[in-house]
Structure 1
Amino acid sequence: MKKIGLLLSRDYKLLSVAAVLEVFETVNKFSAASEQAVPFDIYLLASEETIAQTKEALGYQLTDLKDAPLMQIILIPAFTSDNMQASLMANQKCIPHLVAQYQKGACLGSFCTGAFLLGASGLLNGKIATTHVDASDGFANAFPDVKLKADKTVTQDGRLYTSGGATSSFHLLLHLIHEYCGREMAIRIAKVFAIDMDRENQSYFSTFQPSKDHTDELVATAQRRIEQNYHDAATIEELIKDIPTSRRNIVRRFKLITGITPIEYLQQTRIEAAKQLLEKTSQQMNEIIYSSGYNDAKAFRKVFKKSVGMTPTQYREKFQVR
């Protein structure tokens, strides 16, 4: 029987925890009904402070993480808080125990923004990982040594697993069930929970949400100019030429604050505009291309597919409000 530890971190998202428990409990139920050995022994792990506040959660007794037996895998749920730094500080005491379990042979996995706690452990340095697509820029800035694959639904690098946002958690669960219980059980669970097993990409769920919570007025000016004139300007130089600093300086400061260059910012602004038109209008494709600031249809389709993970037509078919 595999010991599965689900960490009840401070600020954990209840939906994330409930989904994990529901899936593993269903696997156990199916195995018992088939008169096979129940594969998972499920633990809810928590820090001493959390246990003091909550003796029981979701019908499970809580086990102090520092006293837990060796787990086969410990899973970290998503966080509810948007203040990730505060959540990491609140869960700081968990990190040494997670590292100790890993060093003894346990696997560690995270769902959605739970990757931030895994990242804070240092174990992901030099390894691939993913997180919620809209949290990827913040993750990349916080953990530059991690090889972030923001478009991926699930990653595995040795004994470290991560998943993307929300329903991507189910794909990591399927991945683990496939490893521990075989493909037949994974398919059965996929059918019960209506999970599309073939989804490997999450980039088309993203929304461009650039950082504007800063005090650099030159960067803020460049951002406003791009957002107000993206459909008219032929080059980024046209948009930043009157900003009172050198091109090299504005590019350096822009990337330091937003995480991307002005050219990438312009491109993502245009792609986001195109996505909105594809979702909310019935405009012809050529109109959308022109309205988004592109003159070359071939170039637009190439950039769109690279950024979004599907063609403009596929995106419209999937997300258009009818």
Structure 2
Amino acid sequence: MKRVSILVPQTAIIEAVADPHYMFNAVNQFLKISGKEPLFEINLVALEKEVKLNGSLFTVHINQLLKDVMSTDLIIIPAISGDISSAIELNKELLPWIVKQHEQGAEVASLCVGAFILASTGLLKGKKCSTHWNSANEFRTMFPDVKLVDGSIITEENRIYSSGGANSYWQLLLHLVEKYTNRETAILASKYFAIDIDRESQNAFAMFKGQKNHKDEEIKKVQQYIEQNIEDKLNVEDLANGAALGRRSLERRFKLATNNSVLEYIQRVKIEAAKQSFENSRKNISEVMFDVGYTDTKTFRSLFKKITGLTPIEYRNKYNKLEIAVTEMVN
């Protein structure tokens, strides 16, 4: 029997508590139906018997108090809401217990921005991690010694797992089901919950906003120039001259401020603009490519797929409402 401890921290997102509970209970039912013994003992664990969430709109009743859980096999850390620093402070009493259980052999899995609580334990130092793409900049600022993997759905290292943003955590839950049972059961669970099994990237869902929560005003001006001139063939030398900075100085300060090289930032801004054009216009691939300053189709296609995980055509077909509407009218 595998003991699964689903933590219920203060400010937890209720779905991220309920969904893993539902998943592991469902797998127990699948196993019973196939004539096997249930595998998972699932408990909701917290410091107190009741945890009120969503401004007391929901009350979660706890199976086990933290102090009574001497050992467990798997800890699930759900996503949290609100101000991250405040949430970590509210839940700091959970951290030593998580560390102790991991030292005793437990596996630990964070869902979405539950990665902030996991990282606060120190267990992720020097290790790779995933979280919601929208929280990546804040995560890097708070935990510079953690290797955040952009766009990843699942990371796994030294009995520590993490998932990408929002519903991406279903992929991690399926991964754990397969690890503890078998591929057949994981496929059954994916069909039951209508989840695409083995999806590897959240990049197609990510929106690049540009990292401007820094204090280097000269670098902010360079960022703004890039964002306002996406149709141009921008290069680092011209940007450095425009900012009255040496190239090496610009590159060093830009990386420090934004966590991107200048070239990476230019590419991400241009591809974000291309994505929005594919979503909201009837322009073809070449028109969009020229609009964002590219003239070589192969280069544009390769870069677009590298950043989004999809080709330009795949992205347009997936997200363009106008194309969908025309298709439905024809059919």
TM above 0.5, yes or no, is yes
Whether the aligned pair in 2 keeps the contact of 1:236 and 1:266 (CA below 8 Å) is no
Residue matched to 1:46 = 46
Equivalent residue letter for 2:76: L
Whether the aligned pair in 1 keeps the contact of 2:10 and 2:52 (CA below 8 Å) is no
Question: 1:53 deviation in Å?
Answer: 6.2
Residue pairs, 1:302-321, within 5 angstroms: 302-321=302-321
Residue matched to 2:62 = 61
- Cα distance 1:159–1:7, how it changes in 2: closer, same or farther (>3 A)? same
Residue matched to 1:90 = 90
Residue matched to 1:22 = 22
Question: 1:312 deviation in Å?
Answer: 0.9
Equivalent residue letter for 1:79: I
Question: 1:37 deviation in Å?
Answer: 1.9
- Cα distance 1:181–1:58, how it changes in 2: closer, same or farther (>3 A)? farther
Distance in 1 of aligned mates of 2:59 and 2:84: 25
Question: 1:9 deviation in Å?
Answer: 1.3
The SS at the match of 2:211 is: coil
Whether the aligned pair in 2 keeps the contact of 1:218 and 1:250 (CA below 8 Å) is no
Distance in 1 of aligned mates of 2:60 and 2:266: 50
Residue matched to 1:73 = 74
Question: 1:67 deviation in Å?
Answer: 2.7
Residue matched to 2:248 = 248
RMSD: 2.1
Question: 1:113 deviation in Å?
Answer: 0.9
Question: 1:35 deviation in Å?
Answer: 4.6
Whether the aligned pair in 2 keeps the contact of 1:43 and 1:60 (CA below 8 Å) is no
Distance in 2 of aligned mates of 1:114 and 1:144: 17
- Cα distance 1:219–1:62, how it changes in 2: closer, same or farther (>3 A)? farther
Moved more, 140-149 or 181-190: 140-149
Distance in 2 of aligned mates of 1:30 and 1:169: 21
Residues 1:6 and 2:6 aligned together: yes
Residues 1:131 and 2:110 aligned together: no
Distance in 1 of aligned mates of 2:138 and 2:309: 21
The TM-score normalised by the length of structure 2 is 0.89
The TM-score normalised by the length of structure 1 is 0.91
Gaps of 5+ in 1: none
Whether the aligned pair in 1 keeps the contact of 2:79 and 2:112 (CA below 8 Å) is yes
Residue matched to 2:259 = 259
The SS at the match of 1:237 is: helix
Distance in 2 of aligned mates of 1:10 and 1:58: 11
The SS at the match of 2:295 is: coil
Whether the aligned pair in 2 keeps the contact of 1:152 and 1:203 (CA below 8 Å) is yes
- Cα distance 1:63–1:293, how it changes in 2: closer, same or farther (>3 A)? same
Question: 1:59 deviation in Å?
Answer: 6.5
Whether the aligned pair in 2 keeps the contact of 1:152 and 1:201 (CA below 8 Å) is yes
Residues 1:105 and 2:97 aligned together: no
Residue matched to 2:31 = 31
CA deviation profile, 1:196-250 (whole Å, cap 9, x unmatched): 1131122111110222233332122111111111212432333342324433333
CA deviation profile, 1:35-74 (whole Å, cap 9, x unmatched): 53222111111135x85769xx777434232331311100
Gaps of 5+ in 2: 323-331
Equivalent residue letter for 1:166: A
- Cα distance 1:52–1:290, how it changes in 2: closer, same or farther (>3 A)? closer
Moved more, 242-251 or 151-160: 242-251
Whether the aligned pair in 1 keeps the contact of 2:171 and 2:198 (CA below 8 Å) is no
Residue matched to 1:121 = 121
Distance in 2 of aligned mates of 1:265 and 1:34: 52
The SS at the match of 2:208 is: coil
Equivalent residue letter for 1:135: S
Residues 1:282 and 2:282 aligned together: yes
Residue matched to 2:231 = 231
Whether the aligned pair in 1 keeps the contact of 2:137 and 2:211 (CA below 8 Å) is no
Distance in 2 of aligned mates of 1:258 and 1:153: 23
The SS at the match of 2:251 is: helix
Residue matched to 2:300 = 300
- Cα distance 1:186–1:253, how it changes in 2: closer, same or farther (>3 A)? same
Whether the aligned pair in 2 keeps the contact of 1:51 and 1:62 (CA below 8 Å) is no
Whether the aligned pair in 1 keeps the contact of 2:8 and 2:51 (CA below 8 Å) is no
Question: 1:140 deviation in Å?
Answer: 3.0
Question: 1:106 deviation in Å?
Answer: 0.7
CA deviation profile, 1:98-157 (whole Å, cap 9, x unmatched): 000001111100111111111121212232321112222332333333333222211221
